[in-house]
Amino acid sequence: MSELKILAISGSLRTQSHNSALLRAAQKFAPEGFAVDLYDGLREIPSYDQDHDTDTPPAPVAELRRRITEADGLLIATPEYNYGIPGVLKNALDWASRPGGRSSLNGKPIALAGTAMSNFGTVRAQLALRQMFLWTDSQVVTKPEVLVFRSQDRFDQAGHLTDETTVVLLQDLLKALGHKIRSSQAAA
């Protein structure tokens, strides 16, 4: 069985982001048979402008779309801002969702996770993402839910995930994503 290629996208631009650290942990603790590739181009993606959404989109957008297309699945870690997802993540996903009906996100298996320093994790942001992915008919993993609350207690000062329960949840999420990827590949 070949290695599954997972593109990991953090919805945070912050240098010391726990969401980005969660994706680095996914890379480090990925089960055998998974290759987790971290996407770091969110800053370069311009604001969505349909006038520029042509057969030759801006280079950072073309690169994002290419990487999503080449990945077997996505792992998105998002913070929660005002009960929703950060604008930069929404913007990137808006670009990726085009052209409608045949975008890089169409039917793509996707797993969601998120960290927050509050007691509620990122439950509302993840719900907003699930709703967005209805449009692209993406195959979103529903369980386990990885809502890392009180994230300051789960990472050390260097940004390394130290909480074993979170490591296991992250591994279980990747395994569920792998199952969804293999199911979609078998159905194709």
Q: What pLDDT does 1 receive?
A: 60
6 neighbors 171 (Cβ within 8 angstroms): no
CB 42 within 8 A of CB 9: yes
Query: Cα separations (Å) of 155 from 19, 55, 62, 109?
Result: 11, 43, 34, 28
Asked if 9 and 71 touch (Cβ cutoff 8 Å), the reply is no
Which burial class, exposed, middle or buried, applies to 84 when counting CB atoms under 10 A from its CB (0-12, 13-18, 19+)?
middle
Share of the chain above pLDDT 70, in %: 99
Instruction: Assess whether pLDDT exceeds 90 at residue 120.
Output: no
Query: One-letter amino acid identity for 159?
Result: G
Question: What was the pLDDT predicted at 65?
Answer: 97
| Helix spans in 7-105 (H) | 18-29, 59-70, 87-96
Q: Does pLDDT of 178 surpass 70?
A: yes
**Residue 5, helix vs strand vs coil:** strand
Higher per-residue confidence, 86 vs 187? 86
Among 5-9, 27-31, 99-103, 172-176, the range scoring the smallest mean pLDDT is: 99-103
CA-CA distance, 188 to 186, in Å (whole number)? 6
Answer for the pair 171, 30: CB distance below 8 angstroms, yes or no: yes
Average pLDDT over residues 109-133: 93
pLDDT exceeds cutoff 80 at 110:
yes
Average pLDDT, the chain: 95
Taking CA atoms, 112 is separated from 9, 22, 52, 61, 109, in Å, by: 10, 11, 29, 21, 10
Angle CA(80)–CA(182)–CA(41) in degrees, nearest 5?
40
pLDDT at 138 over 70: yes
Neighbours of 5 (CB within 10 A): 15
The strand pairing partners of 139, in sequence order, are 109
Average pLDDT over residues 161-174: 97
pLDDT at 187: 84
